[in-house]
Amino acid sequence: MQRLFDSHAHLNNETYTADERAALIREIESSAVTRVMDIGFDLASSRLAAEHAARLAWCYAAVGVHPHDADSMNEDTLAEIRRLAGLDKVQAIGEIGLDFHYDNSDREAQVYWFRRQIRLANELRLPIVIHSREADQLTLDILVEEGAFSEERKSWFLQRLIPGGKPAGDARVLLHCFSGSHELGQQYVKLGATLSVAGPVTYKNNRRTVEMVAAIPLEYLLAETDAPYLTPVPFRGRPNKSPYVEHTVRKIAEIKGISYEEAAERTFCNAEVFFNIDEHKQPDTNIGHK
Ligand code: NI
């Protein structure tokens, strides 16, 4: 049976009315999407993501404060993120990072709370979901400095099997909607990161992301929507939703020269392992957490 994993969506988005969200949930439940990560971006959306995860069997959550909201963060907010991270089916810290395109929050505050939330993920031994825009080098430097790719961190997680059966380091660090060059992508792969691809890979003039997907082994790739944003072709211009992840997976299949079914299954399994879900969960990955 075909199954799809939307590794980054915002069911928790404040723009949905209760009716719209209920309709969206019904639509997901009648689609091939059987797993959705609802990703927090501030305190309210992190709480809502955790609620969705508690209520919906197919939904899991990440909790964290986006760089856009770094100015609103304080020790109490961080304490609440820590509490939410301990709830059932909350699998990651995110989305956290740097956004120097919009600069909605002061850069110094973005850097400070990015570091503090990486430290929280290290303390709780949780996967990390990164948002980075126009801050490539500083994002990478901070992740390295804070030990996000350390051998110790890698030792907490199941290692990734790459062709030939050789295990490769997996630091459980996800660069969401990765838009960097294939060189930067390869640099992240060497460090043990994972990259996720969203709707823009289907856009006609986006050669950069197509080249990146071609260059990165499939074991390091996940598919996402970032719904309600970044709608893939052929629905570009409308609000995005999890079932549309199919079109991103089809594009990955085309670039990799494999069947849609294989791309769907492999990106599904990659995401299950990344977020430590179900049978892939290792007993020791949640120490100090659950
Ligand atoms: Ni997002």
Q: Which domains does the chain have, with CATH numbers?
A: 4-274 (3.20.20.140)
Answer yes or no: are the C-beta atoms of 97 and 62 closer than 8 Å: no
CA of 54 to the centre of ligand 1 (A): 20
Please give the angle made by the CA atoms of 269, 209 and 246, to the nearest 5 degrees.
45
Cis peptide preceding 234, ω within 30 of 0: yes
Q: How much is the mean pLDDT over the chain?
A: 93
Considering the entire predicted model, what is its pTM?
0.94
pLDDT for 166: 72
pLDDT given at position 231:
95
CA of 229 to the centre of ligand 1 (A): 8
Confidence at 163, pLDDT banded by 50, 70, 90: confident
CA distances from 225 to 2, 68, 207 (A): 18, 19, 19
pLDDT in the model for residue 5: 98
Q: State in Å: Cα 254 to ligand 1 middle.
A: 25
Instruction: Using the mean position of ligand 1's atoms as its centre, give its distance from the Cα of residue 8 in Å.
Output: 6
Label the pairing between strands 33-39 and 59-63: parallel
Tell me the two tokens of residue 90.
């909350």
What pLDDT digit, counting tens, does each position of 96-138 carry?
Answer: 999 999 999 999 999 999 999 999 999 999 999 999 999 999 9
Separation between Cα atoms, residue 26 and residue 46, nearest integer Å? 22
Cβ < 5 A residues, ion ligand 1: 226
Residue 98 to residue 113: CA distance in whole angstroms = 10
Q: How far is the CA of 165 from the centre of ligand 1 (A)?
A: 33
Q: Is the pLDDT at 287 greater than 70, yes or no?
A: no
Q: Rounded to 5 degrees, what are φ and ψ at 57?
A: -60, -35
